[in-house]
Amino acid sequence: MKQLSTLFLLCCFALSYGQRPAKQISTETLEAIKKDVWIPFIESYDQSDSQKLKSIHSKDIVRVTQDQNLIETGESYLTNFGQFVESVKAQGSQLAIAFAILSTAVDDSGEVAYQTGYYRFSSKRETDEDFVVRGYGKFSVGLKKENGSWKIWLDSDKHIDLPHEEFNGQEIVYELEQS
């Protein structure tokens, strides 16, 4: 009987806990994350700037590439990522990336955040007149404040098929205008 009572209380607690209203994320926090992470990320691709790209990541980054069942960490990941950007530049090509934010969660201290969303990857090769969308993905990132700036400490993604309209139809889309 005692086990049934305990189980009943746990179920009631779980049901009431799941009905908590969604936490409102301040515009200030969203703008700070955009300024510290997403805009520099987009610019680093546009400018083929590996140092800028590295600067938005925590030194203890954990990177999960779901399509390859691969986890990379720290400086070795940042070096590889930077070399990718530099190699594209050396080949005379250009990169572009855009982000559509689906959800944001922030801890009570305002020092840790988690975002999910889509990204659109484009490139312009020497033979291309304009940027060409090469694919879409779904991402999850863990963010934390370091010395007053937001940094990515967890980055996980997976390529997905996504209609262009669904990407553009999101409430929050960050992208640069391509010339």
Domain membership flag for residue 14: no
**Residue for token pair 């312009």:** 124
Domain membership flag for residue 13: no
Domain membership flag for residue 41: yes
Domain membership flag for residue 114: yes
Domain membership flag for residue 170: yes
The residue segments making up the domain with residue 68 are 26-174
Domain membership flag for residue 17: no
Give residue 17's pLDDT.
57
CATH number of the CATH domain containing 152:
3.10.450.50
Give residue 68's pLDDT.
92
Give residue 165's pLDDT.
95
How confident is the model over 56-106, as pLDDT tens digits?
999 999 999 999 999 999 999 999 999 998 898 888 899 999 999 999 999
Rounded CA separation 93/150 (Å): 29
Rounded CA separation 101/32 (Å): 14
What domain count does the chain have? 1
Q: pTM here?
A: 0.85
Domain membership flag for residue 139: yes
User: Which residues of the chain carry a pLDDT beneath 70?
Assistant: 1-20, 178-179
Give residue 44's pLDDT.
95
Domain membership flag for residue 11: no
Give residue 142's pLDDT.
98
